[in-house]
Chain A
Amino acid sequence: MATVELTFSALPAHVRTARLVATAIARRTGVAEALLDEVRLAVGEACSRAVEAHRVHCPGEPIRIELRDDSGRFEVTVTDLAPNDDLKPALNGFRPPEAMFGIVPELPGLGIAVITGLADDVEVSPGPTGVRIRMSWPAATANGVPAH
């Protein structure tokens, strides 16, 4: 069972690094090539949301991402330390496109909507000290052995 943990400061430039690391480990874990774009986008969305929240509320605090293979699934957990007001629209059901025009450009909740549309297993856990987003995808093999 391999786990990679990464912490990064709340800078938009680091989100791309997190995407690249997550995609590389997903590939090594055996996630199908067809799913790697979904992993890349979902991890990017989770990290972007965390970066935006940290920049508003706690820019000096790091964001944490954990990547692991767990019983044949590739699991990613992104944890932040910021309040979670932006989650209300997503958790209460995403708004139809017409309703977006009043809240441009931030579109709160859109990132979560994208994640739930991409990963077949998503858990968004708002807590008093921040938000934890856990998502997972099937890996090709169990026990973290990459498929060859």
Chain B
Amino acid sequence: MDLKLDHRTEDRLTIVEVEGEIDVYTAPRLRELLIDLVNKGNFHLLVNMEKVDFLDSTGLGVLVGGLKRVRAHDGSLELVCTQERILKIFRITGLTKVFGIYASVDEAKEAHGRDK
């Protein structure tokens, strides 16, 4: 399955919807989107990975790169993910300590107090 990307902004939070496989072939598209969002002043990103079928270390690198960029602007990049097979790769690499990972978009928004 190819990679489908979409995004919307709610209040100051930009929600990036990702669907499909994030690997060495498709990850550059996600990287370009994250860079473009940051360049346009979106510094609080929430990447919804609930429809991601596959994620490898290339995809992790893109997410870490995005995190680095938003942090340079005192921003945030957090994730929505409940799939065990995706969470496993975050655990193996220790990245669960780096990213805020939420069970749903609403939970993430609530954590930020942005749904008020």
Contacts and interface: CB of A to CB of B under 8 A. Distances in A.
A105 B64 contact: yes
A15 B61 contact: no
Contacts of B5: none
A144 B57 CA distance: 31
8 contacts: A41-B56, A44-B54, A44-B56, A94-B93, A97-B93, A106-B61, A111-B58, A114-B89
B95 to A, nearest CB: 6
A64 B58 CA distance: 20
Interface residues of A, number: 29
Nearest to A13: B25
Contacts of A117: 92-93
Interface of B: 21, 23-25, 31, 54, 56-58, 60-62, 64-65, 68, 85, 89, 92-95, 97-98
Given A107-B64, A110-B61, A113-B92, A15 B97 contact: no
A48 B93 contact: no
A104 B25 contact: no
A128 interface: no
A7 to B, nearest CB: 18
- The secondary-structure label for the interface of chain A is helix
A48 B97 contact: no
Nearest to B95: A97
A117 B65 CA distance: 22
A96 interface: yes
A105 B24 contact: no
Contacts of B24: 12, 15, 44, 48, 51-52
A94 B94 CA distance: 10
A97 to B, nearest CB: 5
Contact of B56 (A45, A101, A104, A105): A45
A130 B62 CA distance: 26
Contacts of B95: 97
Contacts of B92: 113-114, 117-118
